Amino acid sequence: MKTLVRLEKVKSEERDSREVVAASDIFRAQVSGVCNLTIFMESHLPMFKEKNLQLEVVTELIRGQHPHLKGVYKNKSQRVICVKNMDPEDILLHATRLRNALGRKVVKLRTRHVTKHPSVQGTWTTAMKY
């Protein structure tokens, strides 16, 4: 038994035909008899869809797997979050974080200080030795 509901990020014609956000998110919530995710889908998911009309929301029933949320972005990257044993509020928080993500990998900054024009003399510190 599958239930599919789709909402997708669309272009904004009012803003010079530019896309509002570069990432397109598809949230897949797999349900296999898990009570908390079922409660989330009945109570929080319709409200989440109404607030985020630019998203495509797909719910699928797959038996024998842990429930998870999957964000699929326009740059063909994916993020998967397992929501086993989570409260509906926590699942909503993770769905919101998937929505806010850009779909890029997290890159660790190599320096403390990032600028377009780095200082030739070095970074300034409060413990200057004269």
CATH homologous superfamily of domain 13-100? Glutaredoxin (3.40.30.10)
Residue 29 has pLDDT above 50, yes or no: yes
Instruction: Check residue 95 and give its pLDDT.
Output: 92
Distance CA 28, CA 117 (A): 43
**Model pTM score:** 0.60
Distance CA 98, CA 103 (A): 9
Instruction: Check residue 4 and give its pLDDT.
Output: 37
Provide the CB-side half-sphere exposure for 119 (13 A, CA): 7
Instruction: Check residue 97 and give its pLDDT.
Output: 92
Domain boundaries, the chain: 13-100
pLDDT in tens, 41-97: 889 999 999 999 888 888 888 888 888 899 888 888 888 999 888 999 999 999 999
| C-beta separation of 38 from 31 below 8 A | yes
> What are the strands of the beta sheet with 78-82, ordered from one edge?
56-60, 26-30, 68-72, 78-82
